[in-house]
């Protein structure tokens, strides 16, 4: 009796936490950016390096989401190049995985750190 | 058609018919559950379990249920004799001929949620409609969390360590 096709009956909602965790995981796929220290009441706790995850906050409104990201950049990399790569990757990956359009990605670079992960010596 | 039929029967004061139909929307609609020889009612838990199992079948769904429901289930699984309830995280509304389903799911990282929700919806609707003959009007899906490859708990290792 219903005219709508079987796959379009009902809505899908995605929790903000899901979007944030997807964005955090997507950021680990980007080279030369690392995590940021966790902040508890505006006080940084812990160090900022690759071992930490980047801090992502998401705001989902309907079919759109905006992201706020706090991350660190590996030292010799140009900051603007690294953040641009991170932004592009986030926009592509988050919209691909969640189906939400990413309208805005605000990035705060909280630290520059030396490369902690060892480079592969052999290929 | 049914609307006009009903109003005319009401208008022609055939009281027995209108009293029997009560507050129902349509009496003459074709359904395998409501027949003139009697009705078949299906409990909420039936639909709930079918929906939960059909959801789990879809690859990309890591688990069904919200945080609290899953934590409670994890404890129940460990109690001897008790089994995890398969209907957690599924809320259903079952009427005489129709059902509406709300799902809370946890997805795997790496799958497209839009595609996944379509296949979950297809699988759940097909399974419920086939088994219960209820018409599923909607399946609302809430993706509560994402499961990352890194945050595997010990239960996966416990399963695999048995045989090398």
DSSP E strand stretches across chain A = 12-14, 33-34, 38-40, 43-45, 55-61, 64-74, 101-113
CB of A5 less than 8 A from some CB of B: no
Query: Which residue would you say has higher pLDDT here, B78 or A102?
Result: A102
Q: Could you tell me if B18 and B72 lie in one domain?
A: no
* A29 interfacial to chain B (CB closer than 8 Å): no
Are residue B147 and residue B68 in the same domain, yes or no?
A: yes
Return mean pLDDT, chain B: 77
Query: Regarding predicted confidence, which is higher, A93 or B26?
Result: A93
Q: Say what the ipTM of the complex is.
A: 0.76
pLDDT tens digits, one per residue of A40-86:
555 566 655 556 788 899 999 989 999 999 988 888 889 999 999 99
Q: Are B21 and B29 in contact (CB under 8 A)?
A: no
User: Chain A: residue nearest B114 by CA?
Assistant: A99
Same domain, B37 and B3: no
Residues B19, B74 within the same domain: no
Mutate to test the interface with A, among B105, B146, B148 (most CBs of A within 10 A): B146
CA angle B131, B76, B104 (to 5 degrees): 50
CATH number at residue B93: 3.30.70.1350
Q: What is the pTM of this model?
A: 0.73
What's the pLDDT tens digit per position in B4-49? Answer: 444 444 444 444 444 444 444 444 456 788 888 898 999 999 999 9
CB contact under 8 Å between A99 and B122, yes or no, is no
- B135:A21 CB<8 A: no
Q: Which domains does chain A have, with CATH numbers?
A: 14-113 (3.30.70.1350)
Min Cα separation A105/chain B (Å): 20
Residues of A in contact with B100 (CB under 8 A): 10
B110: left (phi over 0), alpha (psi -120 to 50) or beta: left
The position carrying tokens 């018409």 is: B135
Query: Quick check: B113 and A98 CB within 8 A?
Result: yes
pLDDT at A101: 94
pLDDT at residue B123 greater than cutoff 90:
yes
Percent of chain B with pLDDT over 70: 70
Mutate to test the interface with A, among B100, B104, B143 (most CBs of A within 10 A): B143
How confident is the model over A99-122, as a mean pLDDT? 81
pLDDT at A44: 60
Measured between beta carbons, the chain A residues lying within 8 angstroms of B28 are none
How many domains does chain B contain in total? 2
Handedness of CA B58, B60, B62, B64 (dihedral sign): negative
Mean pLDDT confidence for B116-125: 94
Residue A57 phi, psi (nearest 5): -120, 140
> What's the average model confidence in pLDDT over B156-161?
50
Average pLDDT over residues B50-61: 93
Parent domain of B38: 31-160
CA distances from B126 to A33, A58, B33 (A): 45, 34, 17
User: With an 8 Å Cβ cutoff, are A99 and B112 in contact?
Assistant: yes
Of B67, B118, B112, which is closest to residue B89 (Cα–Cα)?
A: B67
Cβ pair B114, A99 in contact under 8 A: yes
Percent of chain B with pLDDT over 90: 45
Q: B111: which chain A residues are within 8 Å (Cβ-Cβ)?
A: 97
pLDDT higher for B81 or A34?
A: A34
Summary mean pLDDT of chain A:
83
Chain A residues in contact with B29 by the CB 8 A cut-off are: 1
pLDDT at B3: 46
Is the domain of B122 the same as that of B51?
A: yes
């Amino acid at each position: 009796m219903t005219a709508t096709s079987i796959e379009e009956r009902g809505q899908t909602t995605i929790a903000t936490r899901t979007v944030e965790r997807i964005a955090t995981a997507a950021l680990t796929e980007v080279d030369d950016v690392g995590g940021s220290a966790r902040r508890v009441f505006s006080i940084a706790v812990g160090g900022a390096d690759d071992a930490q995850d980047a801090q992502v906050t998401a705001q989902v409104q309907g079919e759109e989401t905006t992201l706020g990201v706090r991350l660190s950049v590996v030292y010799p990399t140009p900051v603007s190049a690294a953040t641009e790569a991170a932004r592009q990757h986030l926009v592509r990956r988050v919209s691909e995985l969640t189906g939400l359009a990413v309208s805005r990605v605000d990035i705060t670079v909280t630290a520059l750190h030396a490369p902690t992960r060892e480079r592969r010596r052999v290929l | 058609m049914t609307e006009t039929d009903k109003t005319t029967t009401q208008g022609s004061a055939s009281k027995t018919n209108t009293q029997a139909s009560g507050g129902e929307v349509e009496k003459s609609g074709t359904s395998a559950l409501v027949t003139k020889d009697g009705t078949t009612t299906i409990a909420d838990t039936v639909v709930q379990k079918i929906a939960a199992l059909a959801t789990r079948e879809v690859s990309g769904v890591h688990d069904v249920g919200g945080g609290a429901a899953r934590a409670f289930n994890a404890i129940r699984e460990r109690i001897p004799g008790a089994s995890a309830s398969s209907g957690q995280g599924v809320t259903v509304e079952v009427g005489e001929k129709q059902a509406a389903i709300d799902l809370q799911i946890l997805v795997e990282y790496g799958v497209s949620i839009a595609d996944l929700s379509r296949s979950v919806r297809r699988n759940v609707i097909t399974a419920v409609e086939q088994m219960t003959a209820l018409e599923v009007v909607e399946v609302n899906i809430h993706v509560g969390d994402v499961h990352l490859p890194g945050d595997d708990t010990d239960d996966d290792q416990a399963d695999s360590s048995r045989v090398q």
